[in-house]
Homo-oligomer: A and B are copies of this chain.
């Protein structure tokens, strides 16, 4: 049996998963890759830290030089996260013609180009299946299995924390804050949950997926982003009336070569496959012009699922040809230039919830404003007066397909009406057609 030496950069959650699987599934990996995989060094910051896993202490090092200067190490597995020093370590490793496997979504989304170019110029492999949607093989799916397709649309539930929170809100009628607290207790949400709940994590992932799916270079800042912290129980109840559920979706659509890219809470039909993705599960739904509808569903995080993705990347390198001169690297990014839409140009249906004065004529005033901005209304719901607010009622509007710019202008004008106390929420609706 041939043997290959690899190094891990980092021994946190994902690193521990990789180590555990390499040990527990040694035989499977050996038979399927043709190699015995030996972890010969693990870079850590603190040699003494308790890791929750038994690793021989002689493998641990705090000095990256022990790895970069060891020519017997052929693959460097970056599972430390963050921008620096991860970026520098990967570039240096590739300079020494070591192959790279990384799980680093932030670095890929913000500085991936430099890394891809280095891999290309050095003729090494650079794999990143674990960077998006954990154990779900979505990178390989797009990269290897959809090569015959023009991808038209991609919709992802790519953040498990927010999906867990929305599931709790839907099934247990919890408030956003109560659900967030539960997510934190379960370990699904960080102490500072901003990156998840405000959609930054999903934004990174959509930039990576879109760059790959459309063979272009998408900058994170070109992905419109909105989180779920404004979603209230009442929005979920109204969604149910419309036979919809609310999900934080990462969306990209290609309209004749021009892309729209956005991450935001979205009302989707309750019978769509994405609507049935609950708890911390992730899923990516793709429409290709040949394959039609396709969905990948699974665990978007966790030590073992993410470790599974990392190791599939290692095996893929081993199967390709460890003889690096024979690797047929195909540059998959930057095949096409794409124009991008501004969010104002995006066309959608909108759910708008307002608090307004309860007196005759108010509904007419408000709907007239939308009408004058060419926003058609599909349905209007106004129930009896709120008990606690004697002079206020909730008004819910659903629009026809409209340019977002028209919605924003309408809202601007509606806000100026004396009868309108508050715009409580605006949520886009998606019908997948």
Q: In whole Å, how far is A86's beta carbon from the nearest beta carbon of chain B?
A: 22
Q: Quick one: given A298-B291, A328-B321, are A148 and B215 in contact (CB under 8 Å)?
A: no
Contact B299 A291 (CB under 8 A): yes
In angstroms, Cα B297 to Cα A136, docked, is 12
Q: In whole Å, how far is A394's beta carbon from the nearest beta carbon of chain B?
A: 31
Q: Quick one: given A144-B312, A308-B291, A316-B144, are A332 and B32 in contact (CB under 8 Å)?
A: yes
Contact B140 A289 (CB under 8 A): no
Contact B292 A302 (CB under 8 A): yes
A294 close to chain B: CB less than 8 A: yes
Residues of B within 8 A of A149 (CB): 25, 28, 308
Interface string of A208-226 (1 = CB under 8 A from B): 0000000100000000000
Residues of B within 8 A of A24 (CB): 289
Interface string of A266-279 (1 = CB under 8 A from B): 00000101001100
Interface string of A15-42 (1 = CB under 8 A from B): 0010001001100110111100000000
Contact A308 B137 (CB under 8 A): no
Assembly stoichiometry (copies): 2
In angstroms, Cα B135 to Cα A296, docked, is 12
Give the interface of A toward B (CB within 8 A): 17, 21, 24-25, 28-29, 31-34, 129, 135-137, 140-141, 144-150, 215, 271, 273, 276-277, 281, 288-299, 302, 304-305, 307-312, 315-316, 319-321, 326, 328, 330, 332, 335-336
* Closest B residue to A290 using CB positions: B308
* Closest B residue to A327 using CB positions: B321
Q: Quick one: given A137-B141, A291-B135, A292-B302, are A308 and B25 in contact (CB under 8 Å)?
A: no
Residues of B within 8 A of A288 (CB): 135, 308
Q: Quick one: given A302-B292, A326-B326, are A308 and B21 in contact (CB under 8 Å)?
A: no
Contact B28 A148 (CB under 8 A): yes
Contact B326 A305 (CB under 8 A): no
Subset of 23 A-B contacts with CB under 8 Å: A25-B289, A29-B148, A31-B215, A31-B335, A31-B336, A32-B330, A135-B294, A137-B144, A140-B144, A141-B145, A144-B144, A144-B312, A148-B311, A149-B308, A290-B304, A290-B308, A291-B299, A291-B305, A293-B298, A295-B298, A296-B296, A296-B297, A320-B328
Q: Quick one: given A148-B311, A311-B148, A312-B148, are A298 and B292 in contact (CB under 8 Å)?
A: yes
In angstroms, Cα B278 to Cα A271, docked, is 10
Contact A290 B32 (CB under 8 A): no
Contact B136 A294 (CB under 8 A): yes
